[in-house]
Structure 1
């Protein structure tokens, strides 16, 4: 399997994490609205420093940076599973949401996966309440394959009980991607 090199798009650079990314990482991982659907709580500065260092060698996390300023505005999660299936995830700084950056970076990464990494299928999951996330997946033309009722929780209610949520499962095959996209 080829290793991931920097991917450069019209406005973005998708690259591995650097130790110096911690401040930008903290900027969005300390935002309760940004991490609401994530399996972790808001980050402290110290946790963001540790996380930036951890992600340097973690092959599943990619920094999404503005091409002109190099500012880290979000990250993609892209992990290889069984049967040449890769899982896609994303988290972006609220200041940079709704500007097409998630779409641009995810499209570039999916193109790279199908053309260079030997991906056969890409999957993604999100809460049914995370409308922005599932709309992005549908704009990427991933197919909604199912809905799972109360299948996961990341947080607990004030009384300590799990805060279960429903999730959608999405996927796209390489041949579907090629048919729907020219690259």
Structure 2
């Protein structure tokens, strides 16, 4: 099992026992606002942690000092595999945002991807309203490749109408990678 670390973090595969820490942040509206799901109940958090424990795309991000999981990364190879393109995503507990943890974790996972897995290209998408997310991608040297309008919806307004969202597309090639 691959375990990655930084000065402050351990980045590892999910365990079913992570459900409490997962619930602590996925039960907050301000954390899931731009995600394709709403706040999770305790039961849903248990089920999600169990599901993620068998899904190699999900990585738990834990504080090295305490072992507490403060967020997660998503890193998944895209089809067709011969294109060597992966997608990166991240969600972090709001109490731990603004401390550089997401950038630190993403940099370490990207290093693993480019240097060990020999990935050619990594893409990431975010809602243009999620300024913290696209600013993080730009700090990681991702290049904005597109702005698509009304690409989909995950949530509804009070009248049951879909709330359409736009999407920024970012990418970073291995040849552009420079820790």
> TM over 0.5, yes or no?
yes
**TM-score, normalisation: structure 2:** 0.96
Structure 2 spans left out of the alignment, 5+ residues: none
Shift of 1:17: 0.7
Match of 1:120 in 2: 120
Question: What does residue 3 of structure 2 align with?
Answer: 6
Aligned length: 176
Which residue matches 2:106? 106
TM-superposed CA distance for 1:118, in Å, is 2.2
Task: Give me the whole-angstrom Cα distance separating, in 2, the residues matched to 1:8 and 1:107.
Answer: 11
Deviations 1:86-133 (A, max 9, x none): 000000000000100000000000000001112100000000000000
Report SS of the residue matched to 2:10: strand
In structure 1, the partner of 2:149 is: 149
The RMSD of aligned alpha carbons is 0.8
Deviation at 1:156, TM superposition (A): 1.1
Partner of 2:35: 38
The 5 A counterparts of 1:41-120 are 41-82=38-79, 83-120=83-120
Distance between the aligned counterparts of 2:125 and 2:70, measured in 1? 21
Q: Where does the alignment leave 5 or more consecutive residues of structure 1 unmatched? A: none
Q: CA deviation at 1:35?
A: 0.1
Q: TM-score, normalised by structure 1?
A: 0.94
In structure 2, how many angstroms separate the alpha carbons of the residues matched to 1:118 and 1:152?
32
Equivalence for 1:18: 15
Q: CA deviation at 1:49?
A: 0.6
The alignment status of 1:171 with 2:171, answered yes or no, reads yes
